[in-house]
Structure 1
Amino acid sequence: MSFRSGRHFLQIPGPTNIPDRVLRAMDSPIIDHRGQDFARLVLDIFAGLKTVFKTSADIIIFPSSGTGAWEAALVNTLSPGDKVLMFETGHFATLWFQMATQLGIAAEFVPGDWRHGVDPEQVENLLSADRGHIIKAVAVVHNETSTGVTSRIGEIRKAMDRTAHPALLMVDTISSLASIDYRHDEWGVDVTVACSQKGLMLPPGLGFNAVSAKARAAAKTARMPKSYWNWNEMIANNKSGFFPYTPATNMLFGLREALLMMQEEGLDNVFARHARLSEATRRAVRAWGLEILCLNPEEYSNVLTAVLMPEGHDADRFRELVLQRFDMSLGTGLTKLKGRVFRIGHLGDFNELMLAGSLCGVEMGLTAAGVPHKNGGVLAALDYLSADNTMRETSRITARSA
């Protein structure tokens, strides 16, 4: 295998690049997970997580993937045969639906085109028609990683409130938490599902549930079998900083450091950075003359951009060429979108110069692969970023002078 100089550009939408500070924090000796130093670590982490989830509710940390956190959300709140509304916004929404079905839940999968988020009006109509309150939960993917479409959770909550329907609201924030503004309490979410390897800037290995008092009440009558995923045991042990089974200690060291980094940057600044880099990416795509998969600008993702390939050109062949020539990994199209799109991740520990290099790799790759496009995408992104940075610096100077 030939040597490649320089760094590999990992531009998939997760797992994301891990900051050196987080890697160094994880490279620590194991400590006693029954000792007081560990308890202090865990209690610090829960305090930091509450600011990211924007909640005062209980948060549970599982040694798991996001898939495990999906299952925990379902088995702690529902019983076999319960009806749940789920929405086809993309590949990961489909997987969550398939899991619910395999668990014996009567999931209704509302069809979608993979180019739009969940329609709040449709949610309202479906719940209004359920006069007997048969529907026990509404499950929504906040940011669909396969499509680059973000559903409007605040509007969905308002739609549910207008019906006065008692269904739980479950939201998958696996690729949005810590990158896009999210408000567990304000939006009346009952179970928020998240994981470690996206906006939290960690390797895969931690799954999260944030659970409302309403969700805790539902758990008292839920009859789905559970042991590893049992909220009650986790919450009881977590109150004093411990776990009912062996925790992922070094992942927790990394999580504490990642939360500290976000606190230093300021969560609003984290969100603004993601919004700025995503807009620059979309301007590059438009300048190339290519099509963004998401059709509604109100639903553009600030985490990734999915780009449709021109007819007759295979996105995976393009991705392979970019990897071979420029040592950059782009996200693949999944299931229905296989070969039709490539995905540019712009989340986590990421800045303007990293984006500029990524977009250069895409533009050079389009030329090398013979994909019909216009030149100037990188320049369009740089013009936007330069102007935006100039305006922000002028604002800071003006504020200091005042």
Structure 2
Amino acid sequence: MTLRTGRHFLQIPGPTNVPEQVLRAMSAPVVDHRGPEFADLTHRLLPALAEVFGTSGPVVVFPASGTGAWEAALVNTLSPGDRVLCFETGHFATLWRTMAEQLGLRVEFVPGDWRRGADPGAAAERLAADTGHAIKAVCVVHNETSTGVTSRVPEIRAALDAADHPALLLVDTISSLGSIDYRHDAWGVDVTVAGSQKGLMLPPGLGFNAVSAGALAASSAARLPRSYWDWGPVIEANAAGFFPYTPATNLLYGLEEALRMLAEEGLPQVFARHARHAAATRAAVRGWGLEVLCADEREHSGSLTAVLLPEGHDADKVREIVLDRFDMSLGTGLGRLAGKVFRIGHLGHFNDLTLAGTLAGVRMGLELAGVPVRRQGLDEALDVLAGCPRTG
């Protein structure tokens, strides 16, 4: 067994490092989830949570992963046989499509190359052609965790509005909420899906749906079976500060502390920090002579970067060396990207020196794996972090 010293670098795109303050908050004694102390927590927590989503409407919290939150979004708004428009932007978009089909929905899947986000032009074309309004929902992954590509959600909303189409807009923000600018109300989103283990700096275990008035209205007529995932009982119980089931009490204590930390830094500053770290990472990748997977400059992710290796080199071999030699975990390539890319997570509780150490470990791993790289990439990243990018 290899002796490890120092801390492990967890640089996957989630679960992310949990701050000590959040861990301490979660270690509080368990309280009665039917008592006044817990009700007070709920009444403090839900408005603070809504601010991160950018909504004045309800945010439903489930003890669940993001996948559970996907299912909740679908079953509360749709009926068997409904048509849904989805976009092939990566592995998780494909999984959401599969879930929709398994629930009995008819999915129109716009093909993609996994290097670009949801295509607003394709959305506009399909919505304009749907004069009978057979499409009941449009599903978009805001930040595709498998690719490091961020879809332009406001442009998808604009396509819906231009077609005067009543379809609901459902958006997955599992790897963008609390890391990349996102505005549920301002962007006209009907259901926002999120999870606790990425930008919210918590362990896995909480799933979220932010819900518009239109989505609530749709839920009254939706006929997909639901019980545990039903929004209605949760929203009703939340009004008194409770939940219709046993909640993940100590995760909620951690969530309150995480929300306090985000508010203290300020969401605009949080987003700017993530964007700067992403820019530094891309500078390193390009300085090494490698390729960032995201092919559209408008769609670079602030929370992770997927690095495409040259033909004949195995990304998983790089990850294996980095873990064995430097005790750092990088994200694997998923689905069709297996072995072709590795992913650098730079989101959540993260700072400049952590990123510098991460990029140093990546460079050493690339060299040990025999991937030809130029050594100046790390210097170029450090220049970005120091605020003095090179002009030459």
Q: TM-score range by the shorter chain?
A: over 0.9
Task: Find the counterpart in structure 1 of residue 221 from structure 2.
Answer: 221
Secondary structure of the structure 2 residue equivalent to 1:312: coil
Deviation at 1:377, TM superposition (A): 1.4
**Deviations for 1:280-303, whole angstroms, at most 9, x for unmatched residues?**
000000000000000001000001
Equivalent residue, structure 1, for 2:3: 3
> Residue 297 of structure 2 aligns with which residue?
297
Aligned residue number for residue 316 of structure 2: 316
The aligned residue for residue 283 of structure 2 is 283
Corresponding residue for residue 112 of structure 2: 112
**After alignment, is 128-137 or 367-376 more displaced?**
367-376
Which amino acid in structure 2 is aligned with residue 47 of structure 1? P
> Is residue 246 of structure 2 the alignment partner of residue 241 of structure 1?
no
Q: Match of 1:39? A: 39
| Aligned partner letter, 1:6 | G
Residue of structure 1 in register with 2:90 after alignment = 90
For residues 108 and 185 of structure 1, what CA distance do their matches in structure 2 show? 26
Query: The residue matched to 1:77 in structure 2 has which SS?
Result: coil
Q: CA deviation at 1:369?
A: 1.0
- Extract unaligned runs of 5+ from structure 2: none
Matches within 5 A, 1:349-364: 349-364=349-364
Distance of 1:245 and 1:295 partners within structure 2: 45
The one-character-per-residue Cα deviations of 1:156-184 (angstroms, maximum 9, x if unpaired) are: 11111011000000000000000001000
Partner of 1:177: 177
- The alignment yields a C-alpha RMSD, in angstroms, of 0.8
Q: Note the 1:338-377 alignment, pairs <5 A.
A: 338-377=338-377
Residues 293-346 of structure 1, C-alpha deviation per residue, up to 9 Å, x if partnerless? 000010000010000011100000110011000100000000100000000000
- The secondary structure found in structure 1 opposite 2:387 is helix
**Deviation by residue 1:361-401 (Cα, 9 ceiling, x = unmatched):** 00111111111111111110111111269xxxxxxxxxxxx
Q: How does 1:184-263 map to 2 (within 5 A)?
A: 184-263=184-263
Shift >4 Å, 4+ stretches: none
Aligned-pair CA distance for 1:103:
0.4
Please report the TM-score for the alignment, with normalisation by the length of structure 2.
Answer: 0.98
Q: Is the CA contact (8 Å cut-off) linking 2:117 and 2:299 kept in structure 1?
A: yes
Identity of aligned residues (%): 68
Deviation digits for residues 254-299 of structure 1 (CA, Å, limit 9, x no counterpart): 0000000011111110000000100000000000000000000100
Matched to 1:151, the amino acid is S
Question: Alpha-carbon deviation of 1:347?
Answer: 0.2
SS at match of 2:225: coil
* 1:325 corresponds to: 325
Contact 2:127–2:159, Cα closer than 8 Å, also in 1: no
Q: Which amino acid aligns with 2:197?
A: Q
Q: Distance in 2 between matches of 1:353 and 1:388?
A: 16
Equivalent residues, number? 389
Specify whether residues 212 and 108 from structure 1 end up closer, same or farther in structure 2 by C-alpha distance, changes over 3 A only: same
| CA–CA distance in structure 2, aligned partners of residues 316 and 2 of structure 1 | 20
- Cα–Cα, structure 1 residues 388 and 210, in superposed 2: closer, same or farther, change >3 Å? farther
Distance of 2:387 and 2:72 partners within structure 1: 45
Per the alignment, residue 100 of structure 1 pairs with 100
Instruction: State the secondary structure of the residue aligned to 2:43.
Output: helix
CA–CA separation in structure 1 for the residues paired with 2:269 and 2:337: 33
Shift of 1:2: 2.7
Confirm or deny: 8 A CA contact 2:89 2:141 kept in the other structure: yes
Partner residue, 1:156: 156
Amino acid at match of 2:332: T
Query: Aligned partner of 1:338: which letter?
Result: A
User: Residue 143 of structure 2 contacts residue 175 of structure 2 at CA under 8 Å; is this kept in 1?
Assistant: yes
Partners of 1:377 and 1:38 in 2: CA distance = 50
TM-score when scaled to structure 1?
0.96
Which letter maps to 1:214?
G
Matched to 2:335, the amino acid is T
The amino acid across from 2:288 in the alignment is W
Structure 1 unaligned spans of 5+: 390-402
- Paired with 1:354 and 1:362, the residues of 2 have a C-alpha distance of 12
Residues in 2 aligned to 1:388 and 1:75: alpha-carbon distance in whole angstroms = 50
CA-CA distance at 1:130 after TM superposition: 0.3
Contact 2:148 2:303 in 1 (8 A): yes
Distance 2:2 2:112 in 1: 45
- C-alpha distance in structure 1 between counterparts of 2:129 and 2:343, whole Å: 38
Letter in 1 for 2:224: M
Alpha-carbon distance between aligned partners in 2 of 1:356 and 1:335, rounded to the nearest angstrom: 29
Shift of 1:234: 0.5
1:13 matched residue in structure 2: 13
Instruction: Tell me the equivalent position of 1:394.
Output: none
The one-letter code matched in structure 2 to 1:123 is A
Which AA in structure 1 matches 2:31?
Answer: I
Residue-by-residue CA offset, 1:11-70 (whole Å, 9 max, x unaligned): 000000000000000011000000111011111111111110010011100000000000
Q: Give the conservation status (yes or no) of the 8 Å contact 2:110–2:122.
A: no
Q: Secondary structure at the match of 2:113?
A: coil
Q: Aligned residue for 2:28?
A: 28
Deviation, structure 1 residue 239 = 1.1
Q: Structure 1: how far apart are the matches of 2:82 and 2:15? A: 33
